[in-house]
Amino acid sequence: MRDLGSGSVSRRRELLAVSYVWIGRCFAARRQVVTILRAITVTPGKGGSARLEEVPEPSPSDGAVLVHTLALGVCGTDREIVSGCYGTAPHGEARLILGHESFGRVVAAPPDSGLAPGDLVVGIVRRPDPVPCAACAAGEWDMCRNGRYTERGIKARHGYRSERFRVEPDFVVKIDPALKDLGVLLEPASILAKAWEQTGRIGHRSRSWRPQTLLVTGAGPIGLLAAMMGVERGLDVHVCDRHEGGTKPALVGELGGTYHPEPVADLIAHLAPDVIMECTAAPALIRDILGRTAPTGIVCLTGVSHSGHVLDVDVSRINRTLVLDNQVVFGTVNANRRHYELAADALAHADRKWLAGLITRRVPLEHWSEALEHSPDDVKVVVEFPQI
């Protein structure tokens, strides 16, 4: 890999290499085209090591579907990997190609894959563990029991943040072409498709379950997509966040929801939500929502907190209300293929103007490092790749 620096504007180049192959007692020379791509890479565990560099064309062993990258979403997980807190390089390699929120156009695909050149697609992030555990064997790698799964751009597999990537046909999902580059929202939407599926399955433990009120905590991309899917389910949607102005209140209003900048503890007392989608991972906020739903209410935790926050919590109160009101608190992470397909359907039926408002910054590949800087009014930041 050759470092191009964060501000490089060099174009993709094709280099002609000559390799010499020993065949029996003779040398035979043959010409081989080695394509060099640009990719954003990092040395996991080493903060400040991210850079744009040249990498070879992805190996066919990565998958039979070749995709030209059009855009990639940036999220908190990417920032954690870049800061050195998270991420693992593939076995035997020092660096990891970043990127798990993919979006691209198919360049080549096997005839029996259901894909054709020109299709807009997104690659699935997680791969089942090699054992596999019972969940992975059933295609539910998002529920992996032994933790030996791998993830593109996060855990032991190169990500999608290069100019072209390869992916296995079973791990690529087609996007409604009318969505165009809004397809980059599919991966985060898949997280919420799973969260809502699981919430529904828990809710229907009672034949009388008819949720009416949803509270979403956090108006980032995950929170706003949770709210969008709540509106699609006909719920009275409320979103709580710290920002009093800017993009986020406007997006909630355009959705038909109600935005609340006040502390959740004040809000929840009179709201009595049937469902809470917690999308901040803020420890004090989580403390304030546990045991605070309406009877039979469900709290879905989607964020990942750092350990080490010790708070005073009245566990007796939480236990008492959870038991006496049949409340449920559960966590959810990642998504399997079914969830990606549910999310693709949800995006296809959503208001495209509203979805476009979620992408608050678009950064060209040459300025990729700016995409990793977080601005308070950012919702979703996208790195755009050169078109072909």
Give the interface with Zn ion as residue ranges (CB under 5 A): 129, 133, 136, 144
State the Cα–Cα distance between residues 144 and 217, nearest whole angstrom.
27
Min CB(88)–Zn ion separation in Å: 16
Min CB(372)–Zn ion separation in Å: 30
Which tokens belong to 250? 């406007």
Min CB(134)–Zn ion separation in Å: 8
Q: Do 81 and 125 touch, CB atoms closer than 8 A?
A: no
Min CB(139)–Zn ion separation in Å: 11
Min CB(142)–Zn ion separation in Å: 10
Looking at the Cβ atoms of 168 and 181, the one nearer to Zn ion is 168
Min CB(201)–Zn ion separation in Å: 20
Looking at the Cβ atoms of 132 and 291, the one nearer to Zn ion is 132
Looking at the Cβ atoms of 54 and 129, the one nearer to Zn ion is 129
Looking at the Cβ atoms of 48 and 331, the one nearer to Zn ion is 331
Which tokens belong to 272? 């009595």
Side chain identity at residue 82, one-letter code:
V
Min CB(130)–Zn ion separation in Å: 9
Say how many C-beta atoms besides its own lie within 10 A of residue 251's C-beta.
21
CA distance to 113, 117, 120, 122, 336, per residue, from 67 (Å):
14, 9, 9, 9, 20
Looking at the Cβ atoms of 129 and 151, the one nearer to Zn ion is 129
Looking at the Cβ atoms of 53 and 151, the one nearer to Zn ion is 151
Which tokens belong to 261? 């900048």
Looking at the Cβ atoms of 144 and 214, the one nearer to Zn ion is 144
Cα–Cα–Cα angle for 147, 151, 152, rounded to 5 degrees: 170
38 phi, psi to nearest 5 deg: -95, 140
Helix, strand, or coil here: 200? helix
Side chain identity at residue 103, one-letter code:
F
200 phi, psi to nearest 5 deg: -65, -40
Nearest to 85 by CA among 306, 281, 311: 306
Nearest to 230 by CA among 267, 290, 275, 279: 275
Looking at the Cβ atoms of 133 and 301, the one nearer to Zn ion is 133
Looking at the Cβ atoms of 144 and 182, the one nearer to Zn ion is 144
Looking at the Cβ atoms of 130 and 295, the one nearer to Zn ion is 130
Which tokens belong to 351? 């208001």
Min CB(127)–Zn ion separation in Å: 10
Ranges assigned E (strand) in 124-182: 126-127, 150-152, 156-157, 164-167, 172-174
Min CB(27)–Zn ion separation in Å: 48
- Cβ-proximal residues to 121 (8 Å cutoff; 6+ apart), any chain: 65, 67, 103, 104, 105, 106, 115, 167, 172, 173, 174, 175, 183
Min CB(355)–Zn ion separation in Å: 32
Which tokens belong to 101? 């929120």
Phi-psi region of 309 (alpha: psi -120 to 50; beta: other; left: phi over 0): beta
